[in-house]
Structure 1
Amino acid sequence: MPETIRASHSGQPQLSKSKIVLLSILAVVAALLTCGLLQAKHPFFTVSDDYSIGMGASTEARLALKGQQERADRLNAAVTLAVGGALLAGTLAIFAPSNCCSWPLRLLVALPWGAVWGAATGVVGVMAFATLMPTESLPSPAHIGLAQGVAFAMLGGGLGLLYGGFSRNLKTTATAAGIGAVAGALGAIAFPILAGLVMPSQSTVELVPAAALLRPLWLGLPFAAIAVALAGFCPPPGSAACSSDEPPAEEPVTSEQA
């Protein structure tokens, strides 16, 4: 498969814009496929009827119900982002500019990596919402964006580690992780702002939005941001990820050099 980054005639790495566009489209497709699973199966986990409470329930019963609901939320988010993380990681692995191994082998590494990192992101994201949401007032888009940003910064950082890791260069890997984290956070922060503009009546106070119409926007923004940022990332010259199928053009020989 052609590499995303090619060398120009001057020997400097040059981006392929068509590959960046294609990768961003496939990232959105990965988000839509994940949303399709959500539409068909969500919630994957629910609270048992054994924890149902009435008006006069004791404090212990209320705390038990709250604990079970938080557990179900963590598991649902973990499954959702495990699927999404695996799909996005696989897409990035196929297009990663690398000579370390063939793209099928990169794909075999990326799928479980994305799934595990995505599941961890879901758990951390639910914890971020529980920690950052105000208890005495309605959450603002800033609160929601911060919590979403924490979650998708983790996902973007993990996928950046994967993408940069194919270069077999420590500095490249660390830089790609930072770029992925920032891109994921920015895409996630934009979600509650845009959701408030296009669908102001829909709630965004959960990590995984309850409204099905919001989910493509929720996943599509950070997924596309991560894909575009990593595809546009040019590793340092000399790393394996900067290699190209085409050698740089030879400089013309002058009469003095002859």
Structure 2
Amino acid sequence: MFDLTFFLIAGPAVFFAGISKGGFGSGAAFAAASILALVVEPGQALGVMLPLLMLIDVSALRPYWRKWSAPDARVLIIGGLPGIVLGAALYRVASPDLFRLLIGGVSVAFVVWQVSLARGWLRLRAHRLSDRAGLALGGVMGFTTFVSHAGGPPAAVFLLTRGLTKTQFQATTVLIFWVLNIVKFLPYAALGMFTAQTFMANLALAPFALLGTWAGVRAHRLVSQQLFFGLTYVLLTITGVKLIWDGLT
């Protein structure tokens, strides 16, 4: 299952996830799970990625410690819990092809959403979204983070209206997904998504996760966010379309 081809693909993908979570608000980190789902079953891809994302979360906490907006994080975390429960319930009855469609669909939707914002086709509401709206978006975030590790976009829709600085935004996303990834661990384990093979893959890929986080923290101030996400959009479009095709055929 986890052969040389897997590690040649997984290593750069996990490094990329570390950069995203370490420096760019976690929005592109789920690209790693999408890429891995091209070469292994979606459940295995999610099971491999969760411990690595948790490792990245812990590594990124220190440089952003207490720089977050605790009230905004609390709203999204509380809202995210029911979404995680819904995702776990769906996993019990869904086929791998449905999860390929979900992961691929979220990947393509993420690209369309980001490009639409950049081109001005869509505009986020200028005024501050309410806590009630944050709870609703948290529910969407909880579901998407469970089924594809893709909670970043719903979180961003809420946080970008809250008047946060770039570093506050980054720190808040680190805190949110650190908590939610811990919450996801138990249902993932109960659903059999962790195995001895995924554990060995985690050990082999951990250095890529740590190195990516280190690079992301430093790139937070040095690298153009537009350049980083431009590459992300290309990768997600290709992988998303391929996963949708595989799920349908």
Q: Give the TM-score normalised by structure 1.
A: 0.30
Q: Give the TM-score normalised by structure 2.
A: 0.31
Greater RCO (CA < 8 Å, at least 6 residues apart): 2
